[in-house]
Amino acid sequence: MGGDAPALAAKGAMATIPIVLASTSDPVKTGLVASRNRPDGNLTGVTFLLNVSAAKQFEVLQEAVPKPGTIGFLVNPTLPEAEAAVTEVRAAAQALGHELLVANASSEREIDAAFAMLAQRRIGALLVGNDLFFYSRREQIVALAARDAIPAIYVVREYAK
């Protein structure tokens, strides 16, 4: 099972049948499990939550691009945690004195449109949000960043491969 909404529905409907989930958000925060170490109940699985804070991503990004100017953040607005991610990334950008330009995308066509807007605004670097949809479109995202010569940081190394 993939995503939080189906997992929450299954958890509410079936108390004894084992449920395996795949999640991009924090299963503890969403109420799926009591803890990641001991999930309890009938749920188990994997999470693609990467505990890399926005501040740490900016730190790494500044090593590669010392003066990026405006930084873009590609985020999927349909994710429940999208607003929290934007808030965290915006705070990290402000703390380091960078302007943040948020680009929303939840479809292949919207990714193309987001990159067109980011290139037009001449961003100096890009953070790509943690999202299974973005992961599935990583070749498109990497190709667009390369085409537009936008240095980018991703949450998993498969983008760079």
Concatenated DSSP letters of 81-115: THHHHHHHHHHHHHHTT--EEEEE-SSHHHHHHHH
Q: What is the pLDDT of residue 1?
A: 44
Query: How far is the C-alpha of 82 from the C-alpha of 25, rounded, in Å?
Result: 10
Chain segment 54-80, per-residue pLDDT in tens = 778 878 888 888 888 899 999 999 988
According to DSSP, the β-strands at 71-75 and 125-128 are parallel
Confidence of residue 113 (pLDDT cuts 50, 70, 90): very high
How confident is the model over 88-96, as a mean pLDDT?
88
* Structural domains of the chain ordered from first start: 4-47 (no CATH), 54-159 (3.40.50.2300)
DSSP summary character for residue 74? E
Query: How far is the C-alpha of 110 from the C-alpha of 1, rounded, in Å?
Result: 26
Query: How far is the C-alpha of 150 from the C-alpha of 122, rounded, in Å?
Result: 9
Least confident of 43-57, 84-98, 129-143: 43-57
Other Cβ atoms closer than 10 A to 154 = 21
Structure tokens given for 50: 């990467």
pLDDT greater than 70 at residue 36: no
